[in-house]
Structure 1
Amino acid sequence: MAFIDAALVMVSGIGCAAGYHIATAGTLGKADVYAAASVLVAINFVLLTVVQHGYRLKNITNLPRTFRLTLTTWTGLFGALLAIAFTMKVSEEFSRGTTISFYLVGLIVLLAWKMTAARWTAHALRTGAFANGRAIMIAEFGLASSSNAVDDLGQHGYRLVRVMEIPPRDLASPLLLSQLAPRFEELIAFAREQRIEHVFLLMNWSRQHAIDSILDALKILPIPVHLVPDPNAARFLRYPLVSTGNTFTAELRRAPLSWKERALKRMLDLVGASLALFVFAPVMLVTAMLIKLSSKGPVFFRQTRHGFGGRAFKIFKFRTMRVLEDGPTIRQAQKNDPRVTPIGKWLRKTSIDELPQLFNVLKGDMSLVGPRPHAAAHNDEYEQIIGNYAFRHHVKPGITGWAQVNGYRGETRTLDLMQKRVEYDLWYINNWSVRLDLQILARTLIVAFGRPSGTAY
C-alpha cells in the first residue's frame, strides 16, 4: 500500500508538471525540479500515513476514515510544503497551474486507489487470504461453534489450526490442571511442532480460576495468549471504549451532545432549513391553496409533541385530515382512513405535509434530523411500555430520522414495530455525527420522493 501510494504521488506530480508545461509552453520545463518535488511529497505522505496507522488492515477497510485521513494528510502536507517553499523563497520555481493540478489530480487518484484497495482488502479478509498467523484456540465446549470469534479471527489474519474444547464442568473444577495435564502437554508439543504464533482463549470471563490455570499451563510457550470476549462481554464491547483515567470503560449510553456538537448541529439546521424553505416555497404555496380549495378547515395542523428533555411544543404540518385531534386519545392514520382528505392522502405519501416543520426547526423546537416526535398521547403510552423510550428525548426531534430511512415510517401497527423504531433512534443518538445527518438527509430525499413509503397513510 505504501509503495503504491508513493508511486501514484510521483506519477501524478511528474505527469501534471509535464502535461501543464507541454500544454502551455510546448516544452517539458524543469522536469528534474518537479521530479524531486514529487519524490519529496511522496515520502512525506507515506510517512505521515504510517504515523497515523493508515496502513493497518482495519484502517484500510474503514473507507470513511481512510478518506478523511487521505484528505487531511494530503491537504496539510501541501499547505506545509508551500509555506516552507515560500519561507525559503523557492516558491517561484513552481508554477501555480502545476501545483494546483498536482494537488487535485493527486488527491483524486489517491482516493480512487484507496476505494479500490479497501474493497479488495475487505474481500481478501472475508476469504481468509491474509490468514497467515498460525494460532490455536482453547474454548469452553460449545462456544467455538456459536461465537463469531472463529470467523472473525480468520478474516483478520489468523489461521486456527486447532481448537481444544473443554467441558464446563472441567473449567469449574479447582483441579483443572491436574485433570487435563495430558491434554495440555500434548497441546504444547503440537504448538512447538507447528510453530504456533498465537493462543486464543474463548470462555466465560467469570471463570477466573480456569483462565489463570490455563495461563499457568502455557507459560512455557513463548507466544502471546489472547482472551477473546465471551458473548456477554462482546455485547458491551461493541460500544465506544472511553478512557477514564487509568482504565477504559464501554460507553453504554453517551451523554447528550456537547455544546460544540449542539452548535454544529444547530448551524446545519439553520442553513438547511433556510435553504429548504427557499427551494420548497413554491410547493408549499401551491399546497396551501389546494388544501384550502379542497376541504373546509385551516391550512396548517398544530399538535402537541414532546421535544428535547421531554418539553412540549406545537408541531406544524399541512392539514391532511378532516379532524384536528390533539387530546388524550389519538388514533393513528390507517390504510384507507376515511378521515384523510383526497389531497391529504397524496401529501402524506410524498411527505409534503411535513414541510411546515421547517418553521419548527428555525424556532429551535426541532432539528432536521432526529427521532420523529410522536403525539403526546402516544408518547405517554410508549414511555410506560418501552424501557428506553424516554432516551429519545436526549436530542431534539427531527423532521426525518435514522428509523425512517430504514423503513420504519408511518403507521406502527404493533408494539414490535415501535420497539424497532426506538432501537434505530437510540442507535442514531449514540452514533451521531454531521456526516450521519447528511447521509440521512440524502436518503430521505430518495425514500420520500423517489419511492414513497407504503406505510405512510
Structure 2
Amino acid sequence: MSNVPGLSRLAPPDAKAASMEIPPGSGEIPRRTWKELLRPQFIEHSVLVADYVFIVLASLVFSLTYHLIATGDINNEKAFFSIGIIVAANFTAMMAARRNYRLKNLTLLTRQARDTIIIWCGVFGTLTVVAFTLKVSNEFSRGAATLFFAGGLATLLSWRYLVANRISHALANGSFARKKIIIITERGLNASSRPLNELRRYGYHPIQTCEVSKDEISSLVITGSLRSKLADVIELAKCEQIEDIYLLIGWQHRHAIDGILSALAVLPISVHLIPDESAARFLNHPISNVGSTWTTELQRAPMTRAELAAKRVFDVGLATAALITLLPLMLVTALLIKLDSRGPVLFLQKRNGFNGRAFNIFKFRTMHVLEDGPVIQQATRNDPRVTRLGRWLRRSSIDELPQLLNVILDDMSLVGPRPHATSHNSEYEKVIANYAFRHHVKPGLTGWAQVNGLRGETTQIEQMERRVEHDLWYINNWSPLLDLRIVLQTIVTALRQTTAY
C-alpha cells in the first residue's frame, strides 16, 4: 500500500509477527491463539454462567454437608438441586439487570460486593416468604438453608474478588482479543483522546490512523486529498478484514462527517462517531430515553423514590423511639429553663430545608435573646447572650433534642447537612461553590461534618468550606448503613464535644 500523507500505520505489539504476511491465494488460514478468544462478551457471559453453576453447586454441597453432619445420611438432594436452580436464576437475572456482568463493572469490586450482598439477601428473603406462604418451608431443613445462605454468599464474594483482580490485570496488560479497527481523526485529537484510550484498553486494535487536516475538515465539500485518503482506508478495510471504523472529529463539522460517511458507504461495516471533548463530558452522565428522544442526565436526584422511602421509615421509627425514650429528660430540661431565666422554653428560628424551603426549627432556648431575621450573630465562646443553663445544654447538644419533632413533621431527617439560618445561607451561597447542593436532601439533626468535628462557630470561610465538602460527600455516598453509623457516632461525639458554645 502506498504511503499517503496523514495515513500512518500504528506498529503492533509484535512487529515480527505483523510482518509475516500470508501470500495471496495460499489458502492458509492463520491459527488463533487461546488469548484471541478472550473477547469482552465471552468473559461477560462466562462470569454469568459461572455464577449460575457456583450457586447450584453451593446449594448441593452445603445442604448435603449439613445433612451428613446432622443426621449422618444424605437425602432430598433433588429438592436442593431445584432450590439452587431457582436461586441461581433469580440472582443472575437481577445481577444482569443491574449490568453487573459488563466488563467494566466486573472490575469494580466495591460495587460487585455491595450488589452481591443486597441481591443475595433479597432473593433469599423473597423465597423464604414464598415458601412460608405456600406452606412448603417445613419440607426443607432450616439449618441446611442457613448454611447454603452463608456458604453461597461467601463463595460468590470470593469469586467476585478473583474476577475483579484478574480482569483488571488482563485489561492493564492488553490480554483481550484485538478487534481490528481504523480510526479517522482530526489532526491533533488522537494522542489525547480518552475514548480512544478506552477502545485500546478494551481490546480494540487500531490498524491504521487516518489524520485529516483542518482545511480538509473545514471544507464544505470533500477535497481531493481527503478523497484519496478515504480510498486508501476503503482498500485497507477490504484487505485486512476491518471490523469497525471510528471517527474522532468535532461534532460541529457536520459537512465533513456527512461526506466521510457517504464515501465509506461502500463498506459493509459499522462506522462509529466518537464524542469530541465538548460532548464527552456530558455523555459521561447516565443516558435516558424520552419517547424517540434521548437525554443525558447532567444532574440526578440524590436519592431514588425507594431510597427516600427507606430513609423516611428509618427517620420516623428512630425519631419516635428516641422521643419516647428521652421525653423525661426533655420535660426536666423544660422545667430547668423556666427556673433559670425568663422567656419561652422553645426557640423557633427560620431555616432552609429541602429544595431551599423555609421551615421553623425547634430548639430549647439557651439565650436571653430570640434572634431571627436578616442579621443573626453566631454564638461565640463566653457569649454573654447564653444563659447559665444554656451553656451546658449547648455543649451536651441537649438543646437540639426538640428537632426530633422536626424529623417527625418531615421538615428534617435524622442525618443530613445541618440547616443554617436563612441569613447565613444567603451569605455562604455567594462565596462557596456548590453550597446550594446541600439543599438537595433534607437537613439533618446530625451529619457527616458534625461527627468529624466540624461543629460550632465558623470564624473563617475555610471552616464552612470544609463543612460543605463533608456534606456533599454524604449526599453522594448516602446509604442506610452510613446513616446508622453517623447516628451512633453522634451519641459518642456529643458526650465529648467541646466546640459548641
Q: Which residue of 2 aligns with 1:231?
A: 277
- What is the correspondence of 1:24-39 to structure 2 with a 5 Å cutoff? 24-31=70-77, 33=78, 36-37=81-82
SS in 2 for 1:205: coil
Q: How does 1:355-374 map to 2 (within 5 A)?
A: 355-374=401-420
Partners of 1:167 and 1:453 in 2: CA distance: 65
1:406 & 1:343 partners in 2: Cα distance? 26
Distance in 1, Cα, partners of 2:193 & 2:263: 24
Task: Give per-residue Cα distances to partners, 1:205-262, cap 9 Å, x unaligned.
Answer: 2222222222223334433222222233233334443321122222345679898776
Find 1:6's aligned residue among 46, 52, 55: 52
User: Structure 1's 235 and 50: CA in aligned 2 closer, same or farther, altered over 3 A?
Assistant: closer
Alignment partner of 1:421 is 2:464: no
CA distance in 2, matches of 1:313, 1:124: 55
Structure 2: which amino acid aligns with 1:436? S
Alignment CA distance shift 1:214-1:397 (3 Å): same
SS in 2 for 1:55: coil
CA 1:371 to 1:353, structure 2 compared with 1: closer, same or farther past 3 Å? same
Q: How many Å separate the matches in 2 of 1:350 and 1:181?
A: 78
Pick from 221, 224, 229 the counterpart of residue 178 of structure 1: 224
Deviations 1:47-84 (A, max 9, x none): 74686455332443442445444444565567779989
Q: Percent identity?
A: 42
CA contact (8 A) 2:60 2:84 kept: no
Amino acid in the other structure paired with 2:468: R
Q: CA deviation at 1:269?
A: 1.9
TM-fit CA distance, 1:318: 5.9
- Comparing 54-63 and 386-395, the one that deviates more: 386-395
Q: Distance in 2 between matches of 1:406 and 1:116?
A: 35
Q: Is 1:212–2:255 an aligned residue pair?
A: no
Structure-to-structure mapping, 1:59-74, within 5 angstroms:
59-60=105-106, 61=108, 62-63=111-112, 64-73=114-123
Distance 1:314-1:75 versus aligned 2 partners, 3 A rule: closer
Aligned equivalent of 1:133: 179
Q: Which amino acid aligns with 2:404?
A: L
1:439 aligns with 2:485: no
1:350 deviates by: 8.4
Specify the alignment match of 2:19 in structure 1.
Answer: none
- Where does residue 271 of structure 1 map in the other structure? 317
Residue 361 of structure 1 deviates from its aligned partner by 0.8
For residues 364-418 of structure 1, the C-alpha deviation after alignment (integer angstroms, 9 at most, x for no partner) is: 2212344442212123445677898667656533335677789987638449965
Unaligned 5+ segments in structure 1 are none
Q: In terms of mean alpha carbon deviation, does 413-422 or 354-363 score higher?
A: 413-422
- Report 1:198-347 matches (<5 A): 198-253=244-299, 264-277=310-323, 302-308=348-354, 310-317=356-363, 325-332=371-378
CA RMSD of aligned residues (A): 5.1
Structure possessing the higher radius of gyration over alpha carbons: 2
**How far is 1:17 from its partner?**
2.8
| Paired residues, number | 447
- Single out whichever of 100-109 and 274-283 deviates more from structure 2: 274-283
Separation of aligned partners in 2, 1:21 and 1:69: 27
> Secondary structure at 1:396's aligned position in 2?
coil
Q: Deviations over 1:2-58 (max 9, x none)?
A: 343234223322222332222222223355x35743664477458746864553324
Q: Distance in 1 between matches of 2:454 and 2:185?
A: 40
Native 8 Å contact 1:17 1:34 kept in 2: no
Residue of structure 1 equivalent to 2:41: none
Q: Aligned residue for 1:399?
A: 445
SS class of match (2:265): coil
SS in 1 for 2:314: helix
Q: Which residue of 1 aligns with 2:160?
A: 114
The farther-off stretch of 375-384 and 186-195 is 186-195
TM-score w.r.t. length of structure 1: 0.72
**Aligned-partner Cα distance in 1 for 2:274–2:451:** 35
Look up the equivalent residue of 1:137 and give its one-letter code: I
Q: Secondary structure at the match of 2:479?
A: helix
SS at match of 1:379: helix
What displacement does 1:348 show? 7.4
Q: Distance in 1 between matches of 2:57 and 2:333?
A: 56
Offset, 1:174: 1.6
Instruction: Compute the displacement of 1:270 (Å).
Output: 0.6
Report SS of the residue matched to 2:229.
Answer: helix
1:124 and 1:418, CA in 2 relative to 1: closer, same or farther beyond 3 A? same
* Partner secondary structure for residue 183 of structure 2: strand
1:4 is paired with a residue of what secondary structure? Answer: helix
Structure 1 residue 271, shift from structure 2 partner: 1.3
**C-alpha separation in 2, matches of 1:189 and 1:453:** 75
**Could you tell me whether the CA contact under 8 Å between 2:51 and 2:92 is conserved in 1?**
no
Matched letter for residue 276 of structure 2 = D
- Distance in 2 (CA, whole Å) between partners of 1:12 and 1:440 is 34
Q: Which moved more, 1:48-57 or 1:285-294?
A: 285-294
Counterparts of 1:346 and 1:172 in 2: how far apart (Å)?
73
Letter in 2 for 1:330: I
Q: 1:71 to 1:165 in 2, by over 3 A?
A: farther
